Structure 1
Amino acid sequence: MQRRALLAAAALACAAPLVHAQGYPSRAVRIIVPQPPGGGFDTVGRLLADRYGKLTGQSFVVENRTGSGTLVGTDYAAKAAPDGYTLLVGSVSNLALNPGLYANLPYDSLKDFEPIGLLVSYSYTLVGRKDLPLRSRPEVLAYAKANPGKLNYASAGNGSGQHVLAAALWHLAKVDVAHVPYRGAQPAYQDLLGGRVDLFFDLSPTARVQVDAGNAKALAVSGAARNAMHPQVPTVQETGAAPLELESWFGLFAPAKTPPEVLQKLRADFAKLAALPDVRETLAKTGGKPLALIGDDARALVKRDVDHWSKLVRTLAIRAE
């Protein structure tokens, strides 16, 4: 009798993950956004929460956990129970740049997270103040080489994507351009529009507003291909400035050791929502390139960028504030 009871208990234990997955989600799921409301992280998080909710009939709730850039919220998600009820919006900044920015990062981007899928990517656009007497990226680099330290560029703060990308470009092009860090993109634009700084490498959707208004001039984009929002602007690689390419992807991640069956369910639903015409249209209207990279395909892109950008950030000796 005792042996039969033990066998029954073992069978139940083996079946538990499957039962858990079949009933998933049975309560509200939190999507951790490691930045304040507004911006790329929050926009993607709320779009995912809305569509997952409609697909599953369960509540998916965005929770903004901010602090130390993206560090606090990302670490919180890494240490959450791996049960599928706490997920993370991950991007280049918190998963690929942070490993190079922090000497003692409390989480491992590759070991502590399981990618569900990557939904969208955004390029950056290098813009100059509207009265900058340089009309192209080659002219900027030629002037910078002839006049070391005379040009300057804004960023949203030390270690921000705008800082890292621009610093990488100047490093690869072997020119000296002075860094002027701000606390966020808004004050950086105020000084760019006021003519107090020369250049700013910002996310293309935000930069487009100023370019279209005639407040700034677009010089190059960071993606592998030209951006549909301003197709006349060449890529950095097209200009011959440097072998530099970066698109800031955003996607959904679960803590490591989340049950495989739960991951399978999350990925299957992710594939469905990423293929919805209204989702793709919404992303395209915001200047993004819709993606539908699931599981291993997402993991390969994340690993590539973690390996490349964390190493380059360390080479540039950039540290977070």
Structure 2
Amino acid sequence: MSVRLLTMATGAAILAAALTTQPAQAQTYPDRPVKIIVPIGPGGSYDIVGRTVADALSKRLGQPVVAENKPGAGTVVGTQFVASSPADGYTLLVGGLSNIVFNPSLYSKLQHDPMKEFTPVAIVFGFPYILVGRKDLPYSTLAEVIEAAKKEPNKLSMANAGVGTGQHLVAAALMQATGTKFLDVPYKGAQAAYPDILAGRVDFFIDSFSAALPHVQNGAVKGIALAGPKRNPRLPNVPTMAEAGVKGFDIDSWIGIFAPAKTPPEALAKLRKEVRAIIPELKDAYAKIGGTTIEMSEAETGPFIQKEYDSWTKVIKDTGIKLD
């Protein structure tokens, strides 16, 4: 065989191997463990979602799926880690309002753009926020709380889980909607706020329903109103804020799984299919903590997140909250 014919034959063999290898690679994804980065420490809604999804997804993918906590600077450190990781489908992110929607407006020098650098796999978990108060408060209704806050601005105190957290921003939105001012008391995380609330040193806290639920159930704090569109069956006697007189204050939070935007289409399609397939399995686990599963189509998910981004960007701008 001549050198020219040998070269042509070798080239043809390489091309044939490439054509047959590419579909095989797509079909075998994943062929090693997958990580889901939780951008906060253990405990809380992000961690619950990361671990429940990882456990269920492992069985569907036939490979270990491991939830790994990477906290720091709110949710920035873990989110940046995923943004800087290879977009190969093996490093995913637990994302929600904090790291996908809030951070671009809260930080002037954020090193990543969540709306451009991530794509949703699926939104899986929804939960309301709840306004709770110390158990010995002289107020039992939201109307009474608002009336007292208006009479003496900044006398009543409001804990938050850290500047720029969901708890902080929902509280800021409530103050804006009701024309009230509370003394803002920031903590390093939701759990750090409860000792002072339980001891009566702080008056109020707006927290995620799942985190506040046990404290309300055991009578350690008062459940005053839900910042959601409907009552929660876990606390059926706690009204919504709309029912309590603050019309239009329907805020439900959400958490999902995200992948780097340049993830290969084949891997992304498989992840979307398999994560959506496990959502019904998570219903009971999420209901126990006062949340719900969210079953949203791929076509609905992108526009939904964009609407949330636009809405909360305005709230953050109007309240002037910044973290740098």
TM-score (norm: length of structure 2)? 0.92
**Which secondary structure state, in structure 1, belongs to the residue aligned with residue 122 of structure 2?**
strand
CA distance in 2, matches of 1:15, 1:244: 55
What is the distance in 1 between the residues matched to 2:24 and 2:318? 48
Query: Counterpart in 2 of 1:198?
Result: 203
Partner of 1:38: 43
Work out whether 1:48 is the aligned partner of 2:53: yes
CA contact (8 A) 1:141 1:241 kept: no
Q: Deviations over 1:118-159 (max 9, x none)?
A: 111111110111111111111111111122122110111111
Distance (whole Å) between structure 1 residues aligned to residue 180 and residue 136 of structure 2? 22
1:151–1:17: structure 2 CA closer, same or farther, 3 Å change rule? farther
Change (3 A) 1:293 1:197: same
SS of aligned partner of 1:145: helix
Q: Which runs of 5+ in 1 are unaligned?
A: none
Aligned to 1:20: 25
Task: Measure the CA separation in 2 of the matches of 1:5 and 1:47.
Answer: 49
1:317 maps to which of 306, 316, 320? 320
User: Larger Rg: 1 or 2?
Assistant: 2
Tell me the amino acid that sits aligned with residue 266 of structure 2: E
Give the 3-state SS of the residue equivalent to 1:90 in structure 2: strand
Q: How many Å separate the matches in 2 of 1:239 and 1:101? A: 30
- The one-letter code sitting in structure 2 at the alignment partner of 1:301 is F
Question: Do the aligned residues in 2 keep the contact of 1:26 with 1:58 (CA within 8 Å)?
Answer: yes
1:106 aligns to 2:106 (yes or no): no
What do you get for the CA RMSD once the two structures are aligned?
Answer: 2.0
1:301 to 300, 304, 322: 304
Offset of residue 191 of structure 1: 1.1
The one-letter amino acid of 2:54's match is A
What is the number of residues matched between the two proteins?
Answer: 319
2:182 is matched with 177
Q: Deviations over 1:53-79 (max 9, x none)?
A: 111211111121111110010011112
CA contact (8 A) 1:34 1:64 kept: yes
Residues 235-250 of structure 1 aligned to structure 2 (within 5 Å): 235-250=240-255
Distance 1:235 1:252 in 2: 28
Q: Does 1:228 align with 2:233?
A: yes
- Name which of 148, 158, 162 aligns with 1:157: 162
2:293 aligned partner: 290
The answer to whether structure 1 residue 62 and structure 2 residue 60 are counterparts is no
CA–CA distance in structure 2, aligned partners of residues 275 and 314 of structure 1:
37
* SS, match of residue 54 in structure 2: helix
Amino acid in structure 2 at the alignment position of 1:297: E
Report deviation, 1:269: 0.7
Q: For 1:201 and 1:8, locate their aligned partners in 2 and report how far apart those are by CA, in whole Å.
A: 64
Task: Kindly indicate whether the alpha-carbon contact (under 8 Å) linking 1:169 and 1:242 is maintained by their aligned counterparts in 2.
Answer: no
CA distance in 2, matches of 1:159, 1:8: 57
Counterpart Cα distance in 2 of 1:11 and 1:239: 69
Q: Percent identity?
A: 42
* CA deviation string 1:80-106 (max 9, x = no partner): 111101111111111111122111221
- The one-letter code of the counterpart of 1:188 is A
Distance in 1 (CA, whole Å) between partners of 2:21 and 2:45 is 37
Where in structure 2 are there 5+ consecutive unaligned residues? Answer: none
Q: Is the 8 A contact 2:33 2:65 kept in 1?
A: yes
Amino acid of the structure 1 residue aligned with 2:252: E
